[in-house]
Chain A
Amino acid sequence: MTRRVVITGVGAITPLGVGAKPLIERWSAGECGIADGFGRALEFDPLDFLSKKETRRMDRFAQMGVAAAREAIGQAFGEEGELPYEAHRVGCVIGTGIGGLPSLEENQQKLIERGEKAVSPLAVPLMMGNAAAAAVAMRHDLHGHCYGVVSACAAGAHALGDASRIIRAGDADAVVTGGTEAAISGVAVAAFGAMEATSPTGISRPFDARRDGFVMGEGAGILVLEEKEAAEARGAEILGELLGYGATCDGYHLTAPQPEGTEAARAISLAVADAGLTAVDVDYVNAHGTSTPLNDRSETMALKLALGERAADIPVSSTKSAIGHLLGAAGAVEAIATVEALRARTAPPTVGWEEAEEGLDLDYVPGTAKPIENGEGPLVGISNSFGFGGHNAVLCLAA
């Protein structure tokens, strides 16, 4: 008997606010949380969630991860967060692109200016990429599989994929999983700018002919995944199901996607097949849609390659048009957005899309949200995430 994986809790910190609700509601209304060329989570205050001491002991990316996890766990297990399973049967897998970069920069500065003795003993636990997973596990007493996932902008989706595999394999009954990122700081901003990956105009407009790069964002998305029968047995409200997962690698270039989207397409096909479905069953695509000239073209080709004629018949929208690119958090935040869009049976718009480009001819949901149509039953969506290094991770979700 195959073990199935359902979603029973979601939590998010994004440029659209604190919580999964403002994310989906404000995005669906066509709002954009980007200001001055960055998608900052301005409404997030770590002291709303953590003591002063805990705040000092976590870099911002881990603080956001803990805050989003509290929301997700509260929804899944109740406000007290009491686990319905033995602690060693609950895992914690959280992705990030880079981890605590601001802490690394700060301590590097101290090292240069004042020498070794000025470097904080907290520097390593602050900057390590697994810090968010460790902090969430410590706070909620989770004793199963626990680690960070690092695959650039695919990390959030890889984390969810791994978490679903852990449950399917029988190693856990629940996994707290997702992604978190807070890397809007000196080196990262300069480096993405130097490689001309970020938008010089500071506008995120995926799939639009005028797109000129991505906008850096920050935030976290955390989900509680559970084995379906166990969740049903305890009477949990089931928000959606993680039906399938596909992961491939371009093996092509350090930063550029493979131009025809061949391996990205294979990841999409694998995710759909893993769900036991075919292309015609897909009702909505939450695109990676970064607003870079290269990604949006190769992703469009990948969607056509994987979904065939179905690609032109369904809405395809990018959350990044509303919040920018949350890097290692993107895949998880967008998985939440996908599930909520399916639940509302509404595809939020690709905010700001106006000008078509030859070959980029899918329904990118310009202007306003539109219904996702396919009878009365559960809807199926895919969420794409692609990272520097050629990493492709695709989730097939239903709600």
Chain B
Amino acid sequence: MPTDVNTDNVEKVIFDGLVELGTERDELSREASLEDLDVDSLDLVELAQIVEDEFGVELRGDDVKDVKTVGEVIDLVVAKAG
């Protein structure tokens, strides 16, 4: 049963996912830029797998190609679920 998609839940899953992928937790915020966090295209594909496992929301490469910040990733997942 997928987890309920709301901003708080998605933020937690994305933050935890980025830490799992090697980002330092104290560098994470909604405003943090993916480039500054050294989050690249491979990380985004892995993050998309985590999101799909958790929420049943499918993200493709095209969906995330223009995303610049952590907050934008969170908003995108919430919007896709809606």
Residues of chain A touching chain B, judged by Cβ–Cβ distance below 8 Å, are 51-57, 117-118, 120-122, 125
B52 to chain A, nearest CB (A): 7
- Cα A117 to Cα B49 in complex, Å, equals 7
Residue in A54, A117, A121, A122 whose beta carbon sits within 8 Å of that of B52 in the complex: A117
> How many residues on B have C-beta within 8 angstroms of the other chain's C-beta atoms?
9
**Interface flag for B42 (CB, 8 Å):** yes
Evaluate contact between A120 and B22: CB separation under 8 angstroms. Answer: no
| Nearest neighbor of B24 in chain A, beta-carbon distance | A52
Query: What chain B residues lie within 8 Å of A125 (beta carbons)?
Result: 42
Evaluate contact between A56 and B21: CB separation under 8 angstroms. Answer: yes
- On whether A122 and B22 interact (CB within 8 A), knowing A117-B49, A117-B52, the answer reads no
- Cα A289 to Cα B42 in complex, Å, equals 43
Chain A binding surface, main DSSP class: helix
- Cα A125 to Cα B46 in complex, Å, equals 14
Query: What chain B residues lie within 8 Å of A120 (beta carbons)?
Result: 46, 49
Query: What chain B residues lie within 8 Å of A57 (beta carbons)?
Result: 42
A177 to chain B, nearest CB (A): 27
- On whether A51 and B22 interact (CB within 8 A), knowing A121-B45, A122-B42, A122-B46, the answer reads yes
A106 to chain B, nearest CB (A): 14
Evaluate contact between B21 and A121: CB separation under 8 angstroms. Answer: no
Chain B binding surface, main DSSP class: helix
Q: Mark contacts of B3-26 with chain A using CB atoms, 8 A cut-off: 1 yes-contact digit, 0 otherwise.
A: 000000000000000000111000
B6 to chain A, nearest CB (A): 24
Evaluate contact between B22 and A56: CB separation under 8 angstroms. Answer: yes
Query: What chain B residues lie within 8 Å of A51 (beta carbons)?
Result: 22
Evaluate contact between B52 and A53: CB separation under 8 angstroms. Answer: no
**Interface flag for B38 (CB, 8 Å):** yes
Query: What chain B residues lie within 8 Å of A52 (beta carbons)?
Result: 22
Evaluate contact between B38 and A53: CB separation under 8 angstroms. Answer: yes
B28 to chain A, nearest CB (A): 14
A111 to chain B, nearest CB (A): 13
Evaluate contact between B21 and A53: CB separation under 8 angstroms. Answer: yes
Query: What chain A residues lie within 8 Å of B38 (beta carbons)?
Result: 53
Can you name 12 extra interface pairs (CB under 8 A) apart from A56-B22, A117-B52? A51-B22, A52-B22, A53-B21, A53-B22, A53-B38, A55-B22, A117-B49, A118-B49, A120-B46, A121-B46, A121-B49, A122-B42
| Nearest neighbor of A51 in chain B, beta-carbon distance | B22
B81 to chain A, nearest CB (A): 17
B58 to chain A, nearest CB (A): 9
Evaluate contact between B22 and A121: CB separation under 8 angstroms. Answer: no
| Nearest neighbor of B44 in chain A, beta-carbon distance | A121
- Cα A117 to Cα B50 in complex, Å, equals 10
Q: Which of B35-54 contact A (CB under 8 A)?
A: 38, 42, 45-46, 49, 52
- Cα A39 to Cα B66 in complex, Å, equals 48
A172 to chain B, nearest CB (A): 29
The 7 closest A-B pairs by CB, nearest first: A53-B22, A121-B45, A52-B22, A121-B42, A56-B22, A121-B46, A51-B22
| Nearest neighbor of A53 in chain B, beta-carbon distance | B22
- Cα A54 to Cα B45 in complex, Å, equals 16
Q: Mark contacts of B39-76 with chain A using CB atoms, 8 A cut-off: 1 yes-contact digit, 0 otherwise.
A: 00010011001001000000000000000000000000
B14 to chain A, nearest CB (A): 16
- Cα A21 to Cα B30 in complex, Å, equals 48
| Nearest neighbor of A121 in chain B, beta-carbon distance | B45
Query: What chain A residues lie within 8 Å of B49 (beta carbons)?
Result: 117-118, 120-121
